[in-house]
Amino acid sequence: MLDGMPHRDVVSATAAIGALTRRGRHRDALAMFSRVLAGGVAPNEFTFGTVLRSATALRSPRVGAQLHACAAKLGLCSIVYVGTALLDHYAKMGAMREAQGALEDTSEPNVVSYTALIAGLLKNGMFGDADRLFRRMPERNLVSWNAMIGGCSQAGMSEEAVNLFLEMCREGVTPNQSTFPCVFTSVANEGALGVGKSVHASAIKFLGDLDVYVGNSLVSFYARCGSLEDSVLAFKKMKQKNVVSWNALICGYAQNGRGEEALNAYKEMRATGLKPDNVTLLGLMFGCNHAGLVDEGYALFKTAEMEQPGILKPEHYACVVDLLSRAKRFYDAKNFLEELPFEPGIGFWKALIGGCQIHWNRELAESIAKRIHALDPKDTSSYILLSNVYSAAGSWQSVSMIRREIKEKGLKRITGCSWIEVQDKVHVFFNGDCRHQQSDEIYSMLEAFPGKMIEINMNTQLCDQDKSSKKVRRPLVRVCLSPSSMLIPSGPHS
């Protein structure tokens, strides 16, 4: 119809380009723009705002730069509609310097312009720049607050995300359905159950009925904080449930060591007519793994292999290795590894060596460790796992040798920690930690603590105190904990 028009103008041309863009025909939209330009029709700001979306969808910085040059030639870059489209394109391409330049070239940038740039800065890890821009925005709306909260949450800056949410509420901005999933994910990452309950109350106050996305994040939050009863209650109160809802419940049961309940939830899910996806299967296998349900977990994997092979990921195969090795079925685990349809990575061998640690299989652990070191000589965790195997077997000379090797090679390891929430504040502790302000009271209590779970070794160790340069003697406290093997995805949209 456009080609048949006797007099094409910019309005009809822009409408045709927009129709192609909305249909996902981005190459055709760019070709149409070129034809219109060659036909002597001068594009306006709306034409550029439309066609730039196609350049972004095609992930083409070169086309975006050409469109930018064309807009500059026509004197349109200062118009807010074009400037915002340009900076959004550059931000999504990761070209943050060009995106900031596009904002500076815009004569009167609005809240949409600033929010697009903030989202790009957060996506590219430039949190300081994003926060400074957010603070000097002439106007902030709910979308800009959500962009900051969501960006911090996705980047693992959980405390910052929660603080932003509280600040937003104090400024009188009413959160919406898009705000709360990010906030619940952040408080779950912090393990702050008390704060999360307050956020839950805010969600009911501001939203009334919670949609499926908020409900999913709520189920996941309570499960990850160990409040399984509240997680199940939140699930039951949901008016709408999808696969993600059931995944949140199943993974919650699995994370809390309730394998039987996870299997029962799976049966209920199938009864509703919903099909499992890769997250469902991973959660079920994880639950079976830690509940000792070896046959059930292996049967689930074989069923998926026959009925839904498309949902199987490397994580599922690694979970089978972990499942068999934990059950002391090392022969079956090795055969399974040899028959994999792909080359197993380091994670698979770590799963097997984890089972060796549980069952004190020193010889197999040593052979696996050599294989891991050949694949990645700088992998610290394999040295730690082998050291744990020697420690469990009482081979302290070998433990010292491994630790010396770690030190000589200059390898660094992430120190394990524990945390506990007291009066809405999370306290983090490392092994032999003396830096907490109440460390004297804590160690005094531990020395007097009865029970079999805690062994106080009165052989002392040197600890540094941050408050002074003095060296003090503290009892070495060893807490018996069950080893963990692998993580499963969590969160409202997993």
263/249 Cα distance (integer angstroms): 11
Q: Are 321 and 333 in contact (CB under 8 A)?
A: yes
Confirm if 420 and 394 have CB atoms less than 8 A apart: no
Q: How many CB atoms lie within 10 A of CB 108?
A: 10
**First-to-last C-alpha distance (Å) of the chain:** 45
Who's near 299: CB < 8 A, 6+ residues apart?
none
Give the model's pLDDT for residue 456: 42
The pLDDT of residue 453: 46
Taking the CA atoms of residue 282, residue 288, residue 289 and residue 294 in that order, the dihedral angle to the nearest 10 degrees is: -120
Residues of the chain with pLDDT under 70: 357, 360, 362, 366-367, 370-379, 381-383, 385-386, 388-390, 392-395, 398, 402, 405-406, 408-416, 423-424, 431-432, 449-494
Which pLDDT does position 321 carry in this prediction? Answer: 86
d(CA 463, CA 475): 10
* pLDDT of 469: 40
Query: Helix 111-123 to helix 96-105 angle, to the nearest 10 degrees?
Result: 170
| Residue 328, pLDDT score | 81
Q: Please, are residues 103 and 117 in contact by the beta-carbon 8 Å criterion?
A: yes
Per-residue tokens: 470 = 């003095």
For 457-481, b/e burial (b = at least 16 CB within 10 A) is: eeeeeebeeeeeeeeeebeebeeee
Q: Is the CB of residue 166 less than 8 Å from the CB of residue 157?
A: no
* Inter-residue contact 223 to 252 (CB < 8 Å): yes
Reading the block at residue 311, the tokens are 């949902």
Task: Quote the pTM value.
Answer: 0.73
